[in-house]
Structure 1
């Protein structure tokens, strides 16, 4: 039996991949996410991880699926393949759906995958608020998309559960890599029963944006062969929401927004040969869609390009992510459009014929709309930053005026996001102005009522003051001989109060006009 000292010596001589990651964390702080991910999942039940390899040969791509129904089964099959890889295929692309510690160790040990790629795939926060660990974007001059990159994107899905808006701040997808779902604020429920209800499926708190990552790594050997790895998120199988008893995992049916991303392949030249066997991307699993495009759709020219450079093996990954962003942009545009239609009701809202209850209802509508615009504006700031990081990761720049030589898809998406943010900013200003108009109209109505009370007070105060002085007793009572003295005193006193008030107002007004004229002259 090996002693503890011998075991420690062996560990020092042959450290595991995870040991190497821990040792390099000070040099690469992002590796903290890998170490933390491994520690958090120790002793916890792991979700199945799917694995496959695409073998590229001239004119053909062959897929070997290692399964994913059982974690041990897919792990053992992939381990056996890596242990006995033949030289028949020189170009391999491994696709991994979800992650766990065993697969990180396996891929790292056999392929020596850059650990920062795992860290980038695990991290899904918009910003790092802590002082210890973070992930500052790498300088553009040091980015090499031919070696590795991580793309960030958002998948829009409709969740068939009306209670989800109540959990909008704490909903995540299930899986080893749990992703946050950005939902609305329960808008449909808040608008119910109000004047000017927005009746649209777009303006709905049940549509969520899932924060996604997809990572690529490759290494070209001295003989020209290469190995590549693509890490993708799993599809939505369940959602996790907080409850008093702890995190609760439930299955909620979900559907791609507007059917998912638009297929980017060309219309078939002949329908006779494809109609009986029409297939298409499922738009559920990025793992399956990448495999489908390479094995069923890819042309000989596209396969030949992949043989020359592993970066070209990410062609369909990049196309799918860009198309998914376009689908998400449709949702963003629909939300902003529906919010803008509220402005059509401004004339009605400031009508003096409306009751106070109707005005308050309109105010509630616009307050909620203002909150939604601000939420979208804040999220668009995140989206723009992440799209800029995507462009830099792919070796492009969203800020270059000459984009003829750049990858146009992601730059075009960046431009759309910037235009949506400008739209949200303008819309926010218009809605704020509309709310101020409604408040001003209500204030004018209140001022008119106060003015009436003031006029009545000018009459009431002198009359009541005179009555108090004379106490209205004895000969001053109504019908007595000296009752006329009450009017002889009250009427001049009323005019005197008016004169004093008007004089004070006139002095204030003249002083104000003098200062205004003096300011203009200066």
Structure 2
């Protein structure tokens, strides 16, 4: 057997036996080519003032560019919407552990009986941290437009990208249809012959979400980031600098690729072009992801307000589907906490190597702040779910009372017509008592007293009659003895 002809896909297949969490990567590599990937190189030249030079490159020049690092300290490779064959190319040329690509490709939490868990769940936080692979998992809030077009749409949607991400449709708010899209930014640093390469994988902007219909057809909906995306975390320019410097600081915030190119124009804290560390490369991506998490917590707060029911509007607002949504939010909150804990563990593991620890202490405080918000909402969910369940039961009880009242009306109607029909059937045995004959008046003379007697007996409260009889029975027995 010629071992030199083995491919990166063969490595992934063999790795599945040792690490089942890379099974999703093996399946992904078997897919055909998708949309074109965007590759941007940020080179750090060997000069006194190293400044990154962004350069968009083609897939054909990628392999050659990886090994051309003699004139630079290092290079950041930003890959957006990575294709399967690019994973094989990068994996073979950079000798990348398949677990890194698996952590970026597999982000959905399938049932354990259907597929192995992804690396973020299969591995311990300490294992993930010591491998040196930084995976930033987060949620993006999407605005899908008017809610009228989603009346009968599915809850589960997908992003239109080479790595389809889960998009979950939320209950509409104020006539707007919002959704949550999973996203991931992955960072890897490799040393190559006196230089370095930092590989950063990012998802493309979610401009279209896909719904798979029961017939197998696909339906597309346009989407955009809610309110234009995350908040800029860099200090705003003063009015003096705004009027004196004719520069345009705006960029395409819908794309994390464009955002990272914008931020990497300036060196992150603790960055050294000659000896960079993974935390310095992760500074700007972490800041962007934390800004997305802040928007996510505000969305949770808004939905908690939506689910605060009162007895006044319980009949108009509360439905069984709301209980399901609350359960989803609780599960979603637990998964979000897990993602942030992984990030916190990663920063703690690599923090001792940093000379300037102040920026990272602030980031740890920000992570702690977001975690405290999620924990608070998770506790609120624990209390809200049983309350909402009790309200649904109360609503069902009210409906049962109304149905019981309707049954009482039907019983009363039956009490009226049953005596009349019984008497009618009795007199139908003789033609002299049928309508139009001389003895027809006997029917009314008999039916009405019987009807009156039946209604009277139905109106009697027999429990009170039984009580009276029990009281009178001793007196009657005494009189009998006398």
Q: The TM-score by the shorter chain falls in which range?
A: 0.7 to 0.9
Secondary structure at the counterpart of residue 51 of structure 2:
strand
Classify 1:52/1:504 alpha carbon distance in 2 versus 1 (closer, same or farther; 3 Å).
farther
Q: Which residues of structure 1 form unaligned runs of 5+?
A: 1-7, 68-73, 188-197, 350-361, 508-522
Matched, 1:92 2:75: yes
Cα deviation, residue 374, structure 1 = 2.6
Offset from partner CA, 1:80-99 (integer Å, 9 cap, x none): 2113221531x433221122
TM-score for the superposition, normalised by structure 2: 0.75
Conserved? CA contact 2:133–2:186, under 8 Å: yes
Matched, 1:62 2:52: yes
2:67 alignment partner in structure 1: 83
2:299 alignment partner in structure 1: 331
Which of the residues 164, 167, 183 maps onto 1:212? 183
Conserved? CA contact 2:41–2:78, under 8 Å: yes
Cα deviation, residue 117, structure 1 = 0.9
CA–CA separation in structure 2 for the residues paired with 1:429 and 1:319? 36
1:142 alignment partner in structure 2: 127
Classify 1:445/1:24 alpha carbon distance in 2 versus 1 (closer, same or farther; 3 Å).
closer
Q: Which residues of structure 2 form unaligned runs of 5+?
A: 349-359, 434-438, 469-482
Conserved? CA contact 1:373–1:424, under 8 Å: no
TM-score for the superposition, normalised by structure 1: 0.70
CA–CA separation in structure 1 for the residues paired with 2:252 and 2:395? 49
Conserved? CA contact 2:228–2:254, under 8 Å: no
Classify 1:465/1:387 alpha carbon distance in 2 versus 1 (closer, same or farther; 3 Å).
same
CA–CA separation in structure 2 for the residues paired with 1:497 and 1:462? 13
Conserved? CA contact 1:182–1:208, under 8 Å: yes
CA–CA separation in structure 2 for the residues paired with 1:292 and 1:380? 36
The higher relative CO (CA closer than 8 Å, separation ≥ 6) is in 1
Conserved? CA contact 1:373–1:427, under 8 Å: no
The Cα RMSD (Å) is 4.3
Conserved? CA contact 1:165–1:183, under 8 Å: no
* Moved segments of 4+, more than 6 Å: 403-406, 452-471, 477-480, 489-500
Classify 1:469/1:260 alpha carbon distance in 2 versus 1 (closer, same or farther; 3 Å).
same
1:366 alignment partner in structure 2: 318
1:283 alignment partner in structure 2: 253
Conserved? CA contact 1:53–1:64, under 8 Å: yes
Alignment size in residue pairs = 443
CA–CA separation in structure 2 for the residues paired with 1:499 and 1:35? 79
Secondary structure at the counterpart of residue 374 of structure 2:
helix
Which of the residues 91, 94, 100 maps onto 1:117? 100
- Which region of structure 1 is more displaced relative to structure 2, 266-275 or 450-459? 450-459
Cα deviation, residue 244, structure 1 = 7.3
CA–CA separation in structure 2 for the residues paired with 1:376 and 1:234? 30
Secondary structure at the counterpart of residue 177 of structure 1:
coil
Cα deviation, residue 174, structure 1 = 1.9
CA–CA separation in structure 1 for the residues paired with 2:441 and 2:327? 74
CA–CA separation in structure 2 for the residues paired with 1:178 and 1:461? 67
Secondary structure at the counterpart of residue 163 of structure 2:
coil
Secondary structure at the counterpart of residue 17 of structure 2:
coil
